[in-house]
Structure 1
Amino acid sequence: MNWGTTGKPDAAAGKPRRFVFVLLDNFTLLCFAAAVESLRIANRMADETLYDWVLAGEGGEAVSCSAGATFNVDIDLEELRRDDVVMICGGIFVQEATTKKVLNWLRREARRGLTVGGLCTAAYTVAKAGLLDGKRATIHWENHDSFLEEFEEVNLTKSVFVIDGNRMTTAGGTSSIDLMLKIIAEDHGEKLANAVADQLIYSTIRTDQDTQRLSVPTRIGVRHPKLSQVIQMMEGNIEEPISPSVLAKDVGMSTRQLERLFRRYLNRSPKRYYMELRLQKARNLLMQTDMTVINVALACGFASPSHFSKCYRSHYNTTPYRERGAQSARLSF
């Protein structure tokens, strides 16, 4: 079937567009598989090879994903063709998987003009190489806070995926499908992209205007507009927490009414819920960054390290210092 083209050189010439998937240690299988399957199905639906791909890895060695499966790669980190698209596949412990060799190779290929993308947490790798400075990007919501602390030059969004010039990033999970459908549509038209989505049983194609997290009502399982509004305000003001009385006033109710609302729907006080949000962010920063415990405390709205440590221990049954030490031990193992 003739799906049409956008007139791009590769599409017009019938030359397959090649993707180089660079597998980092502990990469997320879903993000990688979703991207490759989208390309494979595009080839199948078009009945011709529109895309091909190779797997690359540091040293040319086999790489294991976070689910435990091991993949043999096709090539080492070698010089690529100028029209290749590099897709870095990240996952858990992406900081440790982002080695000097990977960064140096990535910078070199970028200087040669290659398009570079980061799937899931690999936006960290692309940013660490300095390739996202001054550009829009996204990353999995769990890594959002730590990314903001480390890469101030990047305009980080909460979008499902972002394409900014010759840089691409995704938020993880099934967002690889959305990115690939966007690429397929631009290369060969919307009809083919929609056909691929149908084959994937993917009924809602998201754009770069869609955000990655569920709405507050869906996430907490409660549809109460004022409660949702207060929680959004809490989530947006972690470093400088807002008092329950001010929160209540801003949504047009009394502090007592706000207390009853939280007790009824979430079985906790507004103060307790807010504290849990702040401690969750603190734990993410401790696990994902090299920030000092004092700076983590300040970033999460705690005026003193002792109060932070006391609250953290009460909630997680360990101190921030021990949490940091346990994380280091896991990584060294």
Structure 2
Amino acid sequence: MTTSSQSIGFLLLDQFTLISLASAVEPLRMANQLAGEELYRWHTLSLDGAAVQASDGVPVTPDASAQDGLALDAVIVCGGVGIHNVVTRGHVVWLRNQARLSKRMGGVCTGSWALAQAGLLDGFECSVHWEFLAAMQEAFARVTVSASVFTLDRNRFTSSGGTAPMDMMLHLIGRDHGHELSAAISEMFVYERIRDERDQQRVPLKHMLGTQQPKLQEIVALMEANLEEPIDLDDLSKYVDVSRRQLERMFQKYLHCSPSRYYLKLRLIRARQLLKQTPISIVELAVVCGFVSTPHFSKCYREYFGVPPSEERAGLEAERIEVARPAVRPARASRPSNLLDEARGEATFASVKVLRARA
């Protein structure tokens, strides 16, 4: 585990999404409050130190210019609307310089586009907001673009938009200072479930297919509406007036898998949602998601997600118990930052014990 305070720079690009910035910063603030010490410091940056306008029109005055030479352990690029047009040569040069200094590099929303444009994601896997999935795949052939809500790949960490940066930061905090702290932060934010890298963004099919494949969209809609009692593929073909062979070809061409495989994926994703969000038993889950038996369901689940449903459920129960029993210790005597001064009056201040690795 990390033992010293980390400094993180948030590079704000024009038209960045404010919700993604807040989702990334707030877990750091709460980590400091719950630990009772400065585990993280953060700074907002723009290339020249001038105010940057967020996508909702709110102007944000950064803490410093990117050229001020702040000592940073990590850099996170905050992207948003119109990312194609806002990344400049100056951004690319600065990001490359930071990477050469062995800084950890990250991006939120469309921030991974800027990293890719700087050549910093070549050979890496990354996440980006679903609206830019296809564009990134087309523009950067050496980058593996994932539909996951976030991706951690060596010293690169990227997330999609909205609240996905919170999931990513909670995982990073857990990796640095232990799962108990990240779970307690989630509890403070009334964040019901911390998503992981296996969770996928729900990409609207219309975005993937455009308006040219109404039959395929209709078939997928029928699949989504009939997960408990799956419709036979021959019947699906008849409903939309295409042959079974045409159906197979459409799925292979546009969704890169067979219709049966796609249908199975929909049912397994639904099963995972129910497993994580409800107390429904695994036996009932198998029935509700259209599986002929519990062993068959468990086998398919393990093959797709890499872990049996019983282990996934057991892990969730362990997390809930851990959150319910936070360890308490007094705050350290070292002088806190202003934010920590303000947090001292909170009942939760220094409510989570941060274990230190022995030297």
% identical aligned pairs: 36
Aligned-pair RMSD on alpha carbons?
3.0
CA distance in 2, matches of 1:233, 1:143: 27
- Asked if residue 160 in structure 1 is aligned to residue 149 in structure 2, the reply is yes
Correspondence for 1:238:
none
Kindly state the Cα deviation for residue 231 of structure 1 after the two structures are TM-superposed: 2.4
CA 59–111 in structure 1, closer or farther in 2 if over 3 Å, else same: same
Count of aligned pairs between the two proteins: 229
Q: Contact 2:7 / 2:71 at 8 angstroms: preserved in 1?
A: no
Kindly state the Cα deviation for residue 252 of structure 1 after the two structures are TM-superposed: 2.3
Unaligned runs of 5+ in 1: 1-5, 217-226, 235-248, 261-269, 279-333
Kindly state the Cα deviation for residue 259 of structure 1 after the two structures are TM-superposed: 4.7
1:40-93, Cα deviation, whole Å (9 max, x unpaired): 011111111111101110211011100111111121122646652100000001
Q: 2:22 aligns to what SS in structure 1?
A: helix
CA 188–75 in structure 1, closer or farther in 2 if over 3 Å, else same: same
CA distance in 2, matches of 1:64, 1:195: 33
Q: Contact 2:8 / 2:72 at 8 angstroms: preserved in 1?
A: no
Correspondence for 1:42:
31
- TM-score normalised to the size of structure 1? 0.63
- Asked if residue 90 in structure 1 is aligned to residue 79 in structure 2, the reply is yes
- TM-score normalised to the size of structure 2? 0.59
Greater relative CO, 1 or 2 (CA 8 Å, sep 6+): 2
Residue type matched to 2:36 in 1?
Answer: D
Q: 1:60 aligns to what SS in structure 2?
A: coil
CA distance in 2, matches of 1:211, 1:150: 22
Kindly state the Cα deviation for residue 258 of structure 1 after the two structures are TM-superposed: 2.8
Aligned 1:226-237 pairs, distance under 5 A: 230-231=219-220
CA distance in 2, matches of 1:20, 1:162: 19
CA distance in 1, matches of 2:59, 2:236: 57
Kindly state the Cα deviation for residue 95 of structure 1 after the two structures are TM-superposed: 1.5
Q: 2:81 aligns to what SS in structure 1?
A: coil
Q: 2:75 aligns to what SS in structure 1?
A: strand
CA 257–191 in structure 1, closer or farther in 2 if over 3 Å, else same: same
Aligned residue among 45, 63, 78 for 1:74: 63
Correspondence for 1:256:
238
Q: Contact 2:151 / 2:157 at 8 angstroms: preserved in 1?
A: yes
Kindly state the Cα deviation for residue 109 of structure 1 after the two structures are TM-superposed: 1.0
Aligned residue among 46, 53, 58 for 2:42: 53
Residue type matched to 1:178 in 2?
Answer: D
Q: Contact 2:219 / 2:240 at 8 angstroms: preserved in 1?
A: no
Structure 1 runs of 4+ aligned residues shifted over 6 Å read none
Q: Contact 1:34 / 1:174 at 8 angstroms: preserved in 2?
A: yes
Kindly state the Cα deviation for residue 134 of structure 1 after the two structures are TM-superposed: 0.8
Correspondence for 1:319:
none
Q: 2:66 aligns to what SS in structure 1?
A: coil
Correspondence for 1:192:
181
CA distance in 1, matches of 2:96, 2:68: 12
Residue type matched to 2:190 in 1?
Answer: I
Task: Please say which of residues 81-90 and 157-166 is displaced more in the overlay.
Answer: 81-90
Kindly state the Cα deviation for residue 140 of structure 1 after the two structures are TM-superposed: 0.6
CA distance in 2, matches of 1:233, 1:94: 35
Aligned 1:1-333 pairs, distance under 5 A: 6=1, 8=2, 11=3, 15-78=4-67, 80=69, 84-213=73-202, 230-231=219-220, 251-253=233-235, 255-259=237-241
CA distance in 2, matches of 1:207, 1:232: 26
CA 172–49 in structure 1, closer or farther in 2 if over 3 Å, else same: same
Residue type matched to 2:120 in 1?
Answer: L
CA distance in 1, matches of 2:29, 2:199: 25
Kindly state the Cα deviation for residue 230 of structure 1 after the two structures are TM-superposed: 3.8
Kindly state the Cα deviation for residue 254 of structure 1 after the two structures are TM-superposed: 6.2
CA distance in 2, matches of 1:147, 1:214: 15
Unaligned runs of 5+ in 2: 206-215, 224-230, 256-359
CA distance in 1, matches of 2:171, 2:177: 10
CA 232–187 in structure 1, closer or farther in 2 if over 3 Å, else same: farther
1:88-135, Cα deviation, whole Å (9 max, x unpaired): 000001121101100011011111111110100111000000000011
CA distance in 2, matches of 1:254, 1:196: 46
CA 214–198 in structure 1, closer or farther in 2 if over 3 Å, else same: farther
CA distance in 2, matches of 1:72, 1:125: 21
Correspondence for 2:300:
none
